[in-house]
Structures are given as C-alpha cells and as structure tokens.
C-alpha cells in the first residue's frame, strides 16, 4: 500500500486492530533526507575534484536506498576519486557533509511535524516504535538527536547491529525478536524497493511511504 500522506494513528488502528508496533526506516521514510544525502555526496565531488560520469538526477537515483559502502564500490572508479580512500573514509566524509547540511536548515525541512505527531500519538497509545536503518549508528544517533526524536525509539537498529542488510529481512526480524511482537501486530514503513523487500521478508504489514 502506498501512503502519499502520513497516516493518523486512529486510521491505522481501525485498519489493523491487533496493531502493537510501528517500525520505521529512517532515510526517505522517517526523515526527508534523501536529497540531502545527494547534496552531501555531490559536495565530496566538488571538494575533491571528482568528475561524475552522470547528471545529478542520475546520481540521486543511484544513491536512494543504497548503503554507502555499496555506493563506494561504484564511485571509487570515477575520475578524480581519491585512490587512497577506503569505504570508511568515503562514508565518514559523506556523513560529515550530511550533518553539516542538516544543521544549517530548519528541522521542518527534513522532519515534518505530521511525522512527529504520529510518533507522539503512538507513544501515548503505548505502541512500540522501532527504527530499522541501513545507516551507521553514529550518524543515526546524531540525526535522531537533531530531530529531537531519539527517545521515541526502542530499539534503534542500525547497520552496525546487523550481520546482513536490507534487502535481507534480518534487520526487521531482529526488531521483531527484540520487541517480542508477532508480525501481524506490526506495521513497517519503508520508502525504497530495497527496504520494502526486507520488510516483506519479515512477515509484518508493510506500507510504502511516499509522503516526503
């Protein structure tokens, strides 16, 4: 099911009477960060004189929903890419740029109030709220803190917590295990094909977030 607007909790509960938990992907679902990831990436290119073989639009498509270390495997072949860089160096540089960009803009630009309201409603109704992201722990924690929403989530499952990553269902199965909920009690919100595949593999209800 595609959601073009953030749903009200009352509507979700009416449709899913067993609902006990909401699991959120972070980038592109909870936070409207995908375009800032692209900007952060393009800034690396500018700062280091890398010449991308694609337009910014194509590059955006390349980045959406894709883990940074996989992006590294593609872009390390681009002209001007620092040959001494490891995936670690690349990811650090991109995360540094991303946090710098987000610090310079108002919160509503990357976290709409309607999303915060859903979190508040879910918390007041004692639903479990989990975050399941392919981003790394350090940047995830910083983004949640910048959004002022860290305390809504338990657990927070990041790339660093998982031996297998989306589209593998492992991260979502881990969230089910940690929260003790059955799949039919959970709605997962995801925006990317990779994330949807992972979510479906867990057996929980899945909704595609196209609200940003």
Binding footprint of Mg ion on the chain (CB under 5 A): 25, 27-28, 191-192
Least Å distance between CB 173 and Mg ion? 18
Determine the Cα–Cα distance for residues 80 and 104; give it in Å rounded to an integer.
Answer: 28
Least Å distance between CB 29 and Mg ion? 5
Residue 28 or residue 147: which is nearer to Mg ion going by CB?
28
Q: Which of 98, 99, 89 shows the shortest CA–CA distance to 39? A: 98
Residue 33 or residue 179: which is nearer to Mg ion going by CB?
33
Residue nearest to Mg ion (CB): 28
Asked if 196 and 208 touch (Cβ cutoff 8 Å), the reply is yes
Least Å distance between CB 63 and Mg ion? 11
Look at phi and psi of residue 28 and say left if phi exceeds 0, alpha if psi is from -120 to 50, else beta: left
Least Å distance between CB 66 and Mg ion? 10
Asked if 187 and 156 touch (Cβ cutoff 8 Å), the reply is no
Residue 28 or residue 171: which is nearer to Mg ion going by CB?
28
Least Å distance between CB 47 and Mg ion? 25
Residues 6+ apart with CB under 8 A from 6: 112, 114, 115, 117, 118, 209, 211
Instruction: Please give the structure tokens belonging to residue 49.
Output: 């004189």
Residue 179 or residue 192: which is nearer to Mg ion going by CB?
192
Cα separation values, 191 from 4, 53, 159, Å = 11, 26, 17
Least Å distance between CB 79 and Mg ion? 29
| Dihedral sign (CA 120, 121, 127, 131) | negative
Residue 108 or residue 193: which is nearer to Mg ion going by CB?
193
Residue 38 or residue 192: which is nearer to Mg ion going by CB?
192
């Amino acid at each position: 099911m595609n959601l073009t607007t953030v749903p009200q909790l009352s509507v979700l509960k009416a449709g899913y009477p067993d609902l006990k938990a909401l699991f959120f992907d972070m980038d592109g679902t909870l936070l409207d960060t995908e375009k800032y990831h692209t900007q952060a990436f393009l800034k690396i290119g500018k700062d280091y004189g890398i010449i991308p073989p694609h337009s910014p639009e194509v590059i955006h498509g390349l980045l959406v929903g894709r883990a940074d270390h996989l992006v590294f495997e593609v872009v390390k072949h681009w002209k001007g890419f620092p040959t001494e860089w490891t995936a670690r160096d690349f990811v650090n540089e991109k995360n540094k740029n991303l946090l710098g960009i987000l610090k310079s803009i108002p919160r509503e630009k990357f976290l709409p109030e309607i999303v915060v309201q859903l979190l508040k409603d879910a918390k007041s109704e004692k639903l479990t709220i989990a975050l399941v992201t392919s981003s790394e722990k350090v940047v995830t924690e910083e983004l949640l803190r910048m959004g002022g929403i860290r305390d809504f989530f338990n657990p927070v499952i990041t790339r660093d917590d998982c031996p297998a990553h989306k589209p593998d269902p492992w991260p979502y199965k881990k969230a089910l295990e940690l929260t003790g909920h059955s799949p039919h009690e959970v709605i997962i919100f995801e925006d990317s094909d990779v994330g949807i595949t992972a979510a479906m593999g867990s057996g929980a209800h899945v909704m595609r977030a196209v609200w940003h």
